[in-house]
Amino acid sequence: MTPLRGIALKLASVVLFVGMAALIKAGSAEVPTGQAVFFRSFFALPVILVWLIWRGDLSTGLRVRDPMLHFLRGIIGVSAMGCNFAALGLLPLPEVTALGYAAPLLTVIFAALMLGERVRIFRLSAVFVGLFGVGLVMWPLLTVSEVNGMVLTGIGFVMTSAVLRALSQIHIRRMVATEQTSAIVFYFSLTSTVLALLTLPFGWVIPTGGTAAMLVAAGLIGGVAQICITSAYRGAEAALLAPFDYASILFAILIGYIFFDEVPTVMMLLGSSVVIFSGIAIILRERYLGLKRHRARPSMTPQG
C-alpha cells in the first residue's frame, strides 16, 4: 500500500465518522444515548468480522493475551462514546467536533504523567495554545443570552469524552505491546455492545423506521470507518496521517449547515484554527524528533 492510498483511507474514515456522528445526532431526539451506543457498536461487529474473514485473519486476529486489558479498554471507550453521543444531542455538530480536538492535546499531558514520556517546552506550549483554542470554541456557547443548563451539560459531556478518549489512547499504547490491532478493534465493539445493553432498563424505546435505519447505518458506517483508519495506518506513517484528522471540522460544518441549520460562529472558527495549528505543530515536532532519533542510531552502533 502506498502512502497516497493511506491518506485516501484516512480521509475516508474522517468523512465516515462525521457522517456517523450526524446520524447519531439526528436520532438523538428519539432514542436515548445508551441505545444509540448499542446500535453503533452492535452493527459494527458484522462489518469487522467480514473484514477479518476477508483478510484471512479470523483465527489469529482475535487472540488475546490479557482479556482484562480489553475489558478496561471497553469501559473507557464506551464511556467516551456515550458522553460524545449525549453531547451531539445538546450542541451543534461543528462545536462537538472542534471541542473533541482537546483529546489529542490531553493525550500529550497524560502520556507525560502516566507513561513517563518526556514533554519538552515546545510541545507543552503547543498544548496550552491548543487548549486556549478550545476555550475560544466554548466562549460563544457560554456567553449567548439564551445559555442554559442543556448547553452547559453538553459542554461537560464533550469535554468528559475528550478526557476519556485521551485516557483510552494511553491505554491502547500499552495494549499494542502485547495485543493485536484487530483484536483491540473487535473486542472493543463487542464489549461496548454488552455494556450498552446494561442501559436497557433506563428508557430504551422502539424507534420509528427512519430512526432505526439511521442508527443501523451509523453502526455499519462506524465499522467501515474503523477498518479504513486501521488500514490507513498500515500504509503510511502516523505522523503523515494525523493532520488529516482535522479535516473533520470542514465536513462537520458542511453537514451541520445543510442538515441541521447550524451556522458556525466566528469565534468557533477562530478557536478551531488555533487548535488545529497547535495540533499540527505537535505532530510536525514529533516527526522531526523521530527523524532525528532515527539518524542518531547508526552513530551509536559499535564500530569494527
Q: What is the 3-state secondary structure (H, E, C) of 8-75?
A: HHHHHHHHHHHHHHHHHHHHCCCCCHHHHHHHHHHCCHHHHHHHHHHHCCHHHHCCCCCHHHHHHHHH
Closest alpha carbon to 119 in 131, 130, 100, 105: 105
Cell of 146: 439564551
Domain total of the chain: 1
**How many residues are given for the chain?**
304
Residue 276 lies in a domain: yes
| CA distances for 260 relative to 39, 69, 92, 204, 265, angstroms | 22, 39, 8, 24, 15
Q: Is residue 303 part of a domain?
A: no
At residue 147, the pLDDT reads 61
Provide the pLDDT for residue 222.
95
The answer to the question of residue 299 being in a domain is no
Query: Residue 15: which domain range?
Result: 3-292
For residue 263, tell me if it sits in a domain: yes
pLDDT at 57: 80
Give how far Cα 124 sits from Cα of 105, 118, 128, 279, Å: 9, 10, 6, 11
Task: Examine residue 111 and state whether it is found in any structural domain, yes or no.
Answer: yes
Q: Is 301 a member of any domain?
A: no
Grid cell digits, residue 83? 458522553
Q: Which residue has the cell 519538552?
A: 120
Residue 304 lies in a domain: no
For residue 144, the model assigns a pLDDT of 66
For 131-186, the pLDDT digits (tens) are: 999 999 998 888 765 667 788 899 999 999 999 999 999 999 889 888 888 889 99
Reduce the DSSP state of residue 291 to 3 states and report it: helix
pLDDT of 302 reads 42
DSSP code string of 205-234: ----HHHHHHHHHHHHHHHHHHHHHHHHHH
DSSP conformation class of 113: H
Is residue 116 included in any domain, yes or no?
yes
Output the nine-digit C-alpha cell for 122. 515546545
**Using CB atoms within 10 A of its CB, is residue 77 exposed (0-12), middle (13-18) or buried (19+)?**
buried
Instruction: Identify the sign of the CA torsion 36, 37, 40, 46.
Output: negative
Kindly give the confidence (pLDDT) of every residue in the chain, 304 residues in length, as a single tens digit, with 9 standing for 90 and above.
577 888 899 999 999 999 999 999 999 999 999 999 999 999 999 999 999 999 888 877 788 889 999 999 999 999 999 999 999 999 999 999 999 999 999 998 998 889 888 888 888 899 999 999 999 999 888 876 566 778 889 999 999 999 999 999 999 988 988 888 888 999 999 999 999 999 999 999 999 999 999 999 999 999 999 999 888 877 677 767 888 899 999 999 999 999 999 999 899 999 999 999 998 888 887 777 666 666 766 544 444 3
